[in-house]
Structure 1
Amino acid sequence: MTEPGLRERKKAKTRRLIQDVALRLFVEQGYDATTVEQIAAKAEVSPSTFFRYYPTKEDVVLEDEYDPTLIAEIEKVPPEVGVVGAFRAAVRVGFASFYDRDRELLLERMRLAFTTPALRNRILAANHEIGHTFGGAIARRLGIDEDDPRLRVAAGALMGALTAVLEQWLADDGKSDLPAMMDEALALLEAGFKIEH
């Protein structure tokens, strides 16, 4: 894999700066009380630059660079591995690449997303889109049609499992090991929900 060029690194740095500033302002002032203009001013960018990186204020909380990593990992898993097993392997490798570095950022973003009504509604819509994206990666891996209804069911189950784990992680104030919790939830899904007493 080639290293990103200077332009890509500068764009990633600006994107991260805008998100860091926005999250800090949301914590200090509240999500609803914080405007895009305030975020742009604190980040020393124009509002139009903000919107080049994040189409809406909600996106500055909900968007991240993790999905492409997970999709690339799903596509690497051999086709003989089942759908949940492939997703589980991708999550394990993907989280290893960013969890330690971004744990506090992820916790703050998820805390805002799950406790702010406007963002919580967006999560539901975003889960559908993300599930469709993951479903497409699974379809390519298996060589099946992306419109196969089984993929929608699988994607819904996977996204539901991850959402439940994130809610549990937030309830614990992020003290638990999120990657291990995700792996346990996906193992349960992979085993067909066989719950032992």
Structure 2
Amino acid sequence: MGLRETKMERTRRFIADTAFDLFVAQGYDATTIEQIAAAAEVGPRTLYRYYPTKEALVASFVDNGLNAAMDAFEAQSDDTPLSEALYAVVDSVERTITANSARLLALYEIFYRTTGLRAGLADLDWSWRQRLAQEILRRSGDTADPLFATLTAASTMNVIEVIVQTWTADGGATDVADITRATLKLLRTNTIPVPTPAG
């Protein structure tokens, strides 16, 4: 990444961080683009170049967290057992929650009240699952099975969603690490039933 791209990325992240500080402090609806631009010390036109809407600012936080989780997966060597590589994904999400708890709680409050944002989140989740499935296929080499990769990616995203939703529904009162352990234990011990035809 060149110097210009690095500066642009730094500005992009600073604007998003500033916006979320305002969302947490005074609420999403009460925060205007003009207030965000002023706090980030950029002009409104500059802000619009990076984020055309307030919704895009919110989506960027989720996107960054999912990208960090994907980076954690891709950082695992191809020799790493798949289950361990996938745990790196869940661990990354857990660390993101721990480091950004106030922002994440504010984020999900915004999502619950904004239909358009929920649709955008669903799109981000779908795209991320597709990326993960493709990476699982690549790691599988000659034994690649698209159905296996798709189900594995979907299962991993479901685990993430359950952890995040359980944590936010509790207002962040329960340690996310405890939720993660309980969720994974249910899966490991086959407590969760799998749809099975009769007979």
Same structural fold, with TM-score higher than 0.5 when normalized by the shorter chain:
yes
Aligned position for 2:17: 20
Higher RCO (C-alpha under 8 Å, 6+ residues apart): 1
Aligned position for 1:66: 65
- Decide whether aligned partners of structure 1 residues 194 and 169 sit closer, same or farther in structure 2, where only a CA change above 3 A counts: same
Gap runs ≥5 in structure 2:
194-199
Task: Work out which of the two has the higher radius of gyration on C-alpha atoms and give 1 or 2.
Answer: 2
Per-residue deviation, residues 50-86 of structure 1 (Å, max 9, x unmatched): 244335422211223333332232231545624x542
User: Residue 71 of structure 1 contacts residue 137 of structure 1 at CA under 8 Å; is this kept in 2?
Assistant: no
Residue 31 (structure 1) aligned with residue 28 (structure 2): yes
- Decide whether aligned partners of structure 1 residues 9 and 40 sit closer, same or farther in structure 2, where only a CA change above 3 A counts: same
Percent identical pairs in the alignment equals 34
How many residues align? The count is 190
**Could you tell me the TM-score, scaled by structure 2's length?**
0.72
Q: Following superposition of structure 1 onto structure 2, how do residues 91-106 of structure 1 map, counting pairs within 5 Å? A: 91-92=90-91, 94-95=92-93, 98-106=96-104
Aligned position for 2:174: 176
- Deviation for aligned residue 1:43: 2.1
- Decide whether aligned partners of structure 1 residues 79 and 60 sit closer, same or farther in structure 2, where only a CA change above 3 A counts: same
Runs (4 or more) in structure 1 with deviation over 6 Å come to: 144-147
CA–CA distance in structure 2, aligned partners of residues 151 and 98 of structure 1? 25
- Decide whether aligned partners of structure 1 residues 165 and 98 sit closer, same or farther in structure 2, where only a CA change above 3 A counts: closer
* Letter matched to residue 81 of structure 1: P
Residue 45 (structure 1) aligned with residue 42 (structure 2): yes
Across the aligned residues of Structure 1 and Structure 2, the Cα RMSD in angstroms comes to 3.5
Gap runs ≥5 in structure 1:
none
* Letter matched to residue 36 of structure 2: I
